[in-house]
Amino acid sequence: MSVRAELKYKIMKDYGAPAIMALQDIKKRKKRPVPEAFGPPLESNKRLKEILSRHYFLSRYVSGVKKVAWVTSGAPVELLRAFDFYTIYPENHSALVGAKKQGGDYCGIAEGSGFSQDICSYARIDLGHMLSGKTPAGKLPKPDLLFCSNNICQTVLYWYKAIAHELNIPLIHFDAPFVTTEQTEADVNYMAQQLQDMIPILERVSGRVFYLEIFEEILKRSMETSKTWGAILDAMKAQPAPMTIFDAFGHLAPIVSLRGLPVAQDYYHILMDEVDNRVTQGIGAISDEKYRLIWDNIAIWYKVRFLATFFAERKMNFVTATYTNAWAETTGHLNVKDPWKSMAKTYGQIILNNNLKHRLGLMTKMIKTYAVDGMVMHSTRSCKPYSVGQFDLRKAITADLDLPAVILDADIADERVWSEQQIHTRLEAFCETLEGS
Amino acid sequence: MHNLYFAGVDVGSLSTDVCIIDQSGKVFSEMVMPTGVNGSEAAERAFDASLKQADLTRTDISAITATGYGRASVAFATGKTTEISCHGVGAHQLFPKTGTVIDIGGQDSKVIQVDTHGRMLDFAMNDKCAAGTGRFLEVMANRLELDLDELSNPLNIKGESAPISSTCTVFAESEVISLLAKNTPREEIVHGLQRSIVNRIWGMVTSIGIQGEVTLTGGVAHNRGLVALLEAKLGLSLNIPDNPQTVGALGGAHIACRAYHSTLESSTT
Amino acid sequence: MNLSIPERSEYLKILSDSDQKIMGVLPALYPRELLWAFDLHAAEIWDPPGDILHANAHLQTTICPVVKKSLEFILKEPDVINTGYLFPHTCDSLQNLGTQVKDLIGVSLPVYTFYNPKGSFNNTTTKYYREILQNFQSMLEVSYGTLDSEKLQAACLLGHRIDSRLMDIQEARQTDRLLLGNQEYFQLMRAQEYLLPKDYMSLLEQVEILDQPSEGAKARILVSGILPPSPQILDFLDKLGVSIVADDLLAGSRRLPKFPMDPPDSPLDYLTDRFFILPPCSTRGGDLDERLHQLNKRSKSSKAQGVLFDLVKFCEPELFDHRLLVKTLREQKIPVLTLETELDSHLSGQDKTRIEAFIELLFEMVPR
């Protein structure tokens, strides 16, 4: 680690980043007017933007100071934090590219180099970034290590394997056996052992020694952060709900990619306070909430604004989603006294690694506790674990709960497969059913 | 020594093309006729018409290569070769420095790398979907109520273009419908369509790479707007044959000629 | 050579009529010997004939045809499958299909799953795999009584004999000592998907292996991907005089150990070792360099002149690996052709053109 690089990083962290953020803030004074259908926007948005921009901004100066790891959204990142890795989340970055409606361009780069257009668009965008160096975030540091877990999909394993090969860097894979009925003791032991097996590799790559106390501290912080995130989502049970799920898609970023760090912990306290306040004062995310909806699957990043407006104008608000809930659902298992096994339980049982009976039960519970009137399912060609089974989930839910539901065929980040006309017709028909029921 | 004649018969999905040459490579006839429903009849008809044009009879032709989708149905051919090899050889005959051939045909499009004899080194072909083919343009021309010539107007490359998916014809068609519903100017849509095809072709080009001069064949080479866009995207200028549609048949005729002579050699040695 | 290979559905019908317990198995890796020890016959059901119709009501259009066809078959609840279905953990789509069938669609027979660890060979993964085997055994014991350890030993011995014979046949194929066309060769390979192991073994014993190489085929290619090429493609290749001399298919040599094993001593140890010395496979997150190495080695030993990738549409695990394999082979100047199949019985004109052009390329059939 060079002293110069470290000094530069410190200066940028303490002075450079705040200055740039302030500058950006001045530039962005001219805000877009909020459409009438929406309530007042969340104050926390500003802080969220700051945190995320700062994270990407600082990553440019991290080379020679900290080791960089690319991590999947469901990986047990707490272990990496104990070695002070600077973590980049390719899924988060791909979502950012998607939200900027540039997904097609990045996918095109990957496709041109020989990757099929039938593979996940998060992966194609990331591979497009890797092959071209392009990113809307300015510049991303090259990874020293890749860390993935197939608890969200097997795809990340194939994807990270391709990066590891291209960049010739180590890949650590955390194998999380799919839960077909319930986790067995063998599953838990296997995962716990894998985590412990990783320590010597992480020590070697990071050049740091593992201290259990530091790790426990991080674990505690992570638990507390997830709990706050869960409480924020819980607050959306209020009528009117203080935020929409489209807000939550954005506010999800720290729990996914900064989990275990103080900045994420602090941020959710700020958001929690604001949300609580809005509930007390009866401020809703949309001005007139008449219908409450549930969202299933990952966001359609390039259409978030369009969908938010479309539904808000019809007095419909998304108050819960299986997606946002994924980072709160299983953290109850975490236990500092038994870190390895408790992490195995937490990370092994998340929604996408669990059977569809569990998912149906969870969705049913969410629909009831959040007083939901209708369901929108995004069937995404990119994500098989989230999408295979949706047709039958829909059938079961509409039959058991007498709930109108619609399935939108789209993609998470490749805007080229969006079929405006078709989606519009489906959405209009869904709204008519909902209003008529 | 009396003149020897050779023919290439390219039975494509839309048109059947015939080309007759002599052993020096001089072209005596080029014929393009619609294929219709019966490839074998179309081949007979086009071949007869071509012979008439060259003022020759069937017995004058020493060897005939059949190519194209209907190559198996050409009963009178002495050999058959895929249109991929034929386009390579044909393009190389017209532009000897050709290292890469881009063929945008009716049903499919391909990118072919060739050696210094025009023989294929590698190739890429579009997948099942018709996006990036002549058929795609035809479907879209119908939607826009334009004829194919109108679709080919050269456009200002820097101008606006409507975003159109390059991944699927069905998608693209529904996008065109919604663009029309939004009163998007037709030039912008046309530009978007051309861009979509070019992106598709570019994907194939990058998958096998470019070498030497690039020659464009197939009916779509007439589309000037598309050619301009493709040249801009590739950053080079394309060789465009006068008759881009008959390059396959021309290549076929040359392959017939080469095969005739190499059999002759091997039987005399 | 004339091999008499029984037809799949007739054979299974006869078995089930004679009260053989038959389990319908999905792709691709599962401890077949453990099933045999319980007198359960594992019949693979992932490429049934017929169109996809009812499965479309349960699965999106962008799901691979292997998954769809398997579900189409299961939805019919055919009588020949009389004890249950087994879903090995292969990919995301099959993982979800297993729970979808079990927990949402519902079938009258039990649905079993088997997890294939994605990690590489080490103490942690081998210990876990052994525990999975034991748990699977306990689960079967609930329905089929206590396992007879001698039966398991015998099943492992039979499995070992089949493996050895298949390795010999594969070796013979590579060196032109087998008088089988592509069509027959793959019928023989695929018969293991549905024949009782003892029947399969006696079929393998009928295969004649020549002492000396016969006159080799005009053209030799290696095929890679998931499933063997469709009968239509095999037939077409036979007609063109092209021989598939080696394979790197999931439903092919990736199910056969990389090298010969000692005969089993302790069955569970044997099954564990066998799993971890299977060739690198995309579905298990296998190492890319090792896969390339295997592919090169096999193409050298078989003197293959080109590689044909026959990919199943929407098969993500294979699509990721494919790009690097193709890129590297191209750099080595080895001709490569990729076909995308949907397991239908039709060979399109476009694919025929592709194959023929590939052959023209391989053999420089166009004169100078």
Cβ–Cβ gap C360/B69 under 8 Å: no
Closest among A79, A47, A15 to A253, alpha carbons compared: A47
Q: Is the pLDDT of residue A184 over 80?
A: yes
Residue C127's nearest CA partner among C117, C114, C137 is C117
The amino acid sitting at C49 is P
Q: Which residues of B touch C364 (CB under 8 A)?
A: 119
Cβ of C285 and A154 within 8 Å? Answer: yes
Looking up tokens 């083919």 gives B133
Distance between CA A285 and CA A245 in Å, rounded? Answer: 10
Write out residues 288-347 of C within 8 Å (CB-CB) of B: 330, 335, 340
In a domain, C286, yes or no: no
Contact B81 C340 (CB under 8 A): no
How many residues are listed for chain B in this entry?
269
Query: Could you tell me if residue C122 is inside a domain?
Result: yes
Contact B178 A420 (CB under 8 A): yes
What integer pLDDT is reported at residue A437 of this predicted model?
Answer: 74
Residue A33 reports pLDDT greater than 80: no
Q: Which C residues 17-76 touch A at CB under 8 Å?
A: 57-60, 62-63, 67
What are the two backbone dihedrals, phi and then psi, of residue B118, each rounded to the nearest 5 degrees?
80, 10
Exposure class string for C191-224: b at 16+ Cβ within 10 A, else e: bbbbbbbebbbebbeebeeeeeeeeebebbbbbb
Quick: pLDDT tens for A225-242: 999 999 999 999 999 999
In this prediction, residue B1 carries a pLDDT of 56
C-alpha torsion angle, residues A248, A253, A255, A256 (rounded to 10):
120
Angle at C324 between CA A418 and CA B201, to 5 degrees: 45
Residue C51 counted as domain residue: yes
Q: What is the mean pLDDT of residues A158-177?
A: 97
- For the segment C245-301, what is each residue's pLDDT rounded down to a tens digit? 999 999 999 999 999 999 999 999 999 999 999 999 999 999 999 999 999 999 999
Between the two ends of chain A, the Cα-to-Cα distance in Å is 64
Q: Per-residue DSSP letters for A308-374? A: HHHHHHTTEEEEEEHHHHTTTSSGGG--TTSHHHHHHHHHHSSGGGB-HHHHHHHHHHHHHHTT--E
Q: Which residue of C has its CA nearest to B88?
A: C366
Question: C318 lies in a domain?
Answer: no
Domains by residue range for chain A, with CATH = 66-436 (3.40.50.11900)
Q: Greater confidence, A137 or A291?
A: A291
Does the beta-carbon distance from A417 to B165 stay under 8 Å?
yes
Strand order, beta sheet including A145-149: A86-88, A68-71, A145-149, A171-174
pLDDT at C289: 93
| pLDDT tens digits for range A260-297 | 999 999 999 999 999 999 999 999 999 999 999 999 99
pLDDT for the residue A3: 84
Which chains, if any, share at least 3 CB pairs under 8 A with chain A? B, C
pTM of the model: 0.93
Contact B27, B250 (CB under 8 A): yes
Amino acid in position B248: G
CB of C360 less than 8 A from some CB of B:
yes
Decide if pLDDT at A29 tops 80: no
Q: CA of C97 to nearest chain A CA: how many angstroms apart?
A: 7
* Distance, CA of A278 to CA of C24 (rounded, Å): 56
Residues from chain A contacting residue C124 (CB–CB below 8 Å): 190, 193-194, 197
As a whole-number percent, the residues of chain C with pLDDT over 70 amount to 100
Looking at the 3D structure of chain C, how many domains does it have?
A: 1
**Residue B50, pLDDT score:** 97
Q: Is residue C268 part of a domain?
A: no
Chain B neighbors of A416, CB-CB under 8 A: 165-167, 171
Which has the higher per-residue pLDDT, A419 or A370?
Answer: A370
Instruction: Report CB contact under 8 Å: A355, C289.
Output: no
- In chain C, which residues have their Cβ closer than 8 Å to the Cβ of A173? 118-119, 285
Q: With 80 as the cut, is the pLDDT of residue B173 above it?
A: no
Asked if A412 reaches chain C (Cβ–Cβ under 8 Å), the answer is: no
Does residue C356 sit at the B interface (CB-CB below 8 Å)? Answer: yes
In a domain, C339, yes or no: no
Please name which of C254, C23, C33, C282 lies closest in space to residue C133, comparing C-alpha atoms: C33
Helix (H) or strand (E) holding A196: helix A185-206
Q: Say yes or no: A116 contacts chain C, CB-CB below 8 A.
A: yes
Query: Could you tell me what percent of chain A has a pLDDT over 90?
Result: 85
Tell me what the mean pLDDT of segment A81-85 comes to: 97
Contact C353 B83 (CB under 8 A): yes
pLDDT higher than 60, residue B158: no
Q: Which of A138-147, A249-258, B111-120, B129-138 has the lowest mean pLDDT?
A: B129-138
Q: What is the mean pLDDT of residues C74-94?
A: 97
Mean pLDDT of chain C: 94
CA distances from B88 to A271, B142, B255 (A): 64, 32, 10
Contact between A162 and C125 using a beta-carbon 8 Å cutoff: no
Asked if residue C192 lies in contact with residue C214, where contact means CB atoms within 8 angstroms, the answer is: no
pLDDT category at A28 given cuts 50, 70, 90 is low
Exposure string over C131-159, b if 16+ CB within 10 A, otherwise e: bbbebbbeebeeeeeebeeeebbbbbebb
C178: DSSP letter: B
Average the pLDDT over C84-93 and give the result. Answer: 98
Given CB atoms, is C99 within the 8 Å cutoff of chain A?
A: yes
Yes or no: say if C266 and C274 are a contact pair by the CB < 8 Å rule. Answer: no
Confidence at B189, pLDDT banded by 50, 70, 90: confident
Measure CA A196 to chain center.
26
The CA distance from B156 to B138, in Å, is 22
User: E strands of A114-226, at which residues?
Assistant: 145-149, 171-174
Query: What order of strands is seen across the sheet that includes strand B5-11?
Result: B27-34, B15-22, B5-11, B61-67, B79-80
Name the residue among A118, A190, A392 with its Cβ closest to that of C314. A118
- The residue segments making up the domain with residue C121 are 10-148
Determine the pLDDT at residue B182: 84
Domains parsed from chain B with CATH numbers: 5-86+246-268 (3.30.420.40), 99-240 (3.30.420.40)
Q: Would you call B82 and C356 a contact, using CB atoms and an 8 Å cutoff?
A: yes
Q: Looking at chain A, which residue has its C-alpha nearest residue B171? A: A419
CB of B52 less than 8 A from some CB of C: no
Chain C residues in contact with B119 by the CB 8 A cut-off are 364, 366, 368
Distance CA A385, CA C82 (A): 29
What pLDDT score does B170 carry? 66
Give how far B96 is from chain A: nearest CA, Å: 28
Q: Which of C136, C121, C126, C128 is nearest to C87 (CA)?
A: C136
SS3 B67: strand
DSSP annotation of A14 reads I
CB-based contacts of B249: which residues, under 8 Å, 6+ apart?
A: B8, B9, B10, B17, B18, B19, B30, B67, B86, B90
User: Smallest CA–CA separation between C288 and chain A, in Å?
Assistant: 7
- Residue C313 tokens read as 């549409």
* Chain C residues touching A180 at Cβ < 8 A: 98-99, 102, 113, 115
**Using CA atoms, how far apart are residues C218 and C195, in angstroms rounded to an integer?**
32
Read off the pLDDT of residues B94-138 as tens digits, 9 standing for 90 and up.
999 999 999 988 778 899 999 999 999 999 888 766 667 777 777
pLDDT (0 to 100) of residue B194: 83
Q: Is A422 on the interface with B (CB under 8 A)?
A: yes
Contact C366 B84 (CB under 8 A): no
Residue C356, in any domain of the structure: no
Mutation choice for A interface testing from C86, C92, C293, C322 by most A CBs within 10 A: C92
Would you state the pLDDT for residue B165? 66
With a cut of 70, say whether residue A31 has pLDDT above it.
no
CA C349 to chain centre: 27
Helices (H), A235-319: 245-251, 253-257, 262-281, 304-313
Contact map slice: A 130-159 vs C, CB within 8 A: 150, 153-155, 157-159
Q: Do B181 and A421 touch (CB under 8 A)?
A: yes
Q: How many residues does chain A have?
A: 437
Rounded to whole angstroms, the Cα distance separating C299 from A149 reads 33
Mean pLDDT of A380-406: 96
Confidence of residue B149 (pLDDT cuts 50, 70, 90): confident
Using the Cβ of C348 and the Cβ atoms of chain B, whether some distance falls under 8 Å is answered with: yes
Q: What per-residue confidence (pLDDT) applies to A214?
A: 96
Q: Do the chains contact at C361 and B258, CB–CB below 8 Å? A: no
pLDDT at position B130, please? 62
3-state DSSP call for residue A59?
Answer: helix
C227 Rama class: left (phi>0) / alpha (psi -120 to 50) / beta: beta
CATH number at residue C133: 3.40.50.11890
Give the residue from B213, B110, B94, B104 showing the smallest Cα distance to B152. B104
Chain-chain contact of A421 with B174 (C-beta, under 8 angstroms): yes
Tell me if C144 is assigned to some domain. yes
